[in-house]
């Protein structure tokens, strides 16, 4: 397992050099619109290319599912799931909240997850059955006492599905009134990493992509949290409808999210 994790961390660090070097210098000629409010930059592609090169050098037979170059999730074996820049809109505006997310799936199970925040030099990683870590320190949120009324919840608005905004704002209101407060960082990978680190107590969002949540989901699970889809099922990575939280409040969040018609 260490070889896989080391490769993911190396790939993240190599790609992060590209993100840092180009931060603050993105012009309109570097940006393309994939769909409404969803952008890709030259830096996304360069970062992804670097990550894939590092992985393919170590494991040339492994398959890749990446945000900008695609891939197929249905075959068995090893599949790397890559987001070379989670928080592209933040990055375009030099808003300091973005990350690289790299996960490794084997026969349908996520076995390695890495989320790297290059601005803070925070390397989160997890290995299935072996725990979650931040810069070498083990993460264990299960030892904390959390109640919904005191919980800090992270979320993200459905920017890829704006037609859901009315239902989503009703959900936002319900969670806001039931909790201590909400935060919206603009990077699902960081939100999940922060749940694993106990900086937030829960996270929910609609319509994310596998590369947004694959690595972060394993971080939360290995730190002692619970990750499901909006109705408590296990399809969160592929539906993109995700609830990740401390086990004490996960059921509370599911009561709210389960009422949405998706």
Domain boundary among 99, 117, 139: 139
Look up residue 36 and give its DSSP letter.
Answer: T
Residue 262 maps to a domain: no
Is 148 in the same domain as 132? no
Flag whether 92 is in a domain. Answer: yes
Domains: count for the chain: 2
Q: Which of 114, 139, 164 is the last residue of a domain?
A: 139
Domain for residue 70, yes or no? yes
The pLDDT assigned to 103 comes to: 98
Q: Which ranges in 72-164 belong to alpha helices (H)?
A: 88-92
**Domain match, 107 and 224 both:** no
Domain boundaries, position 233: 142-257
CA-to-CA separations, 127 to 15, 47, 78, in angstroms, rounded:
21, 23, 15
Q: Can you tell me the mean pLDDT for 127-148?
A: 94
Q: What is the pLDDT of residues 141-194, one digit of tens each?
A: 988 889 999 999 999 987 666 777 888 899 999 999 999 999 999 999 999 999
Segment among 12-16, 37-41, 60-64, 112-116 with least mean pLDDT: 37-41
Which CATH number covers residue 78?
A: 3.30.540.10
**Whether residue 105 sits in one domain with residue 8:** yes
Among 88, 112, 139, the domain boundary falls at 139
Q: 3-state class of 109 per DSSP?
A: strand
What CATH number does the domain containing 166 carry? 3.40.190.80
Mean pLDDT, the chain, rounded, equals: 90
Task: Assess whether 6 and 121 both reside in one domain.
Answer: yes
Q: How far is CA 213 from CA 106, 143, 216, in A?
A: 16, 24, 5
pTM above 0.95, yes or no: no
């Amino acid at each position: 397992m260490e070889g896989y994790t080391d490769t993911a961390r190396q790939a993240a660090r190599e790609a992060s050099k590209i993100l840092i070097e180009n931060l603050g210098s993105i012009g309109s000629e570097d940006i393309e619109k994939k769909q409404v409010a969803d952008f890709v930059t030259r830096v996304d592609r360069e970062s992804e290319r670097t990550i894939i090169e590092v992985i393919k050098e170590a494991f040339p037979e492994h398959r890749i599912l990446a945000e900008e170059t695609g891939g197929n999730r249905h075959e068995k074996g090893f599949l790397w799931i890559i987001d070379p820049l989670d928080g592209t809109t933040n990055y375009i505006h030099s808003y300091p909240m973005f990350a690289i997310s790299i996960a490794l799936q084997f026969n349908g199970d996520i076995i390695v997850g890495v989320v790297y925040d290059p601005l803070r030099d925070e390397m989160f990683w997890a290995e299935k059955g072996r725990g979650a870590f931040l810069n070498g320190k083990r993460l264990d949120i299960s030892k904390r006492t959390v109640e919904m009324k005191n919980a800090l919840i992270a979320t993200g608005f459905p920017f890829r599905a704006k037609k859901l905004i009315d239902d989503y704002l009703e959900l936002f209101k319900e969670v806001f009134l039931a909790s201590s407060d909400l935060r919206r960082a603009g990077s699902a990978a960081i939100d999940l990493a922060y749940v694993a680190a106990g900086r937030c107590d829960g996270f929910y969002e609609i319509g994310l992509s596998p590369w947004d949540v694959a690595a972060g989901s394993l971080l939360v699970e290995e730190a002692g949290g619970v990750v499901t889809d909006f109705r408590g099922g296990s399809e969160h990575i592929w539906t993109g409808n995700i609830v990740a939280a401390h086990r004490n409040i996960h059921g509370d969040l599911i009561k709210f999210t389960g009422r949405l018609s998706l």
